[in-house]
Amino acid sequence: MNNRLMAELEEQRRRQEVLVEKLHAQKKQTEAHEQGLHQATAASVKHGEQLEEMRRRTSARVPKAPSFNGSTKVEMRKFMDQYEAYAGEVNIANAQRPGGAHIQRAPLSACIDPLLVERIAYWEIGKASHELTEED
């Protein structure tokens, strides 16, 4: 009986050694994967920075459209002057862009505050905005 127990104990030690060896091999592989992930992350960040730098160097700045929230004709004229300047900037930027990619100009209606349209319709024309027709 004692010999059988000793044999079982020896078998368990051998299995434990095999498992420990497998665990060490798995740990080495995990460390290698972790190092590879860190390298891939660093390369990805570097690539992103290089791509952003290339975009800054090769593409023209996108002009910002003006917005109108005034109520007087003087403010409207000033806004229209700003919009014309904006349209000119977009045309210049499109001429400088490589590869035929163009910046879409914001439509005039998108630059006017929607609540302002309601106020203009009500106070200057005397109708709600949904009641306006082309003749108004």
| 29-49 per-position pLDDT tens digit | 999 999 988 898 888 889 888
The DSSP output letter for 68 is B
Confidence of residue 127 (pLDDT cuts 50, 70, 90): confident
Q: What is the pTM of this model?
A: 0.46
Question: Which token pair is 89?
Answer: 């900037």
**Contact (CB, 8 A) for 132 and 121:** yes
Q: Is the distance from CB of 62 to CB of 93 less than 8 angstroms? A: yes
Considering only the C-alpha atoms of the chain, give the largest distance between any 2 of them, rounded to a whole number of Å.
Answer: 111
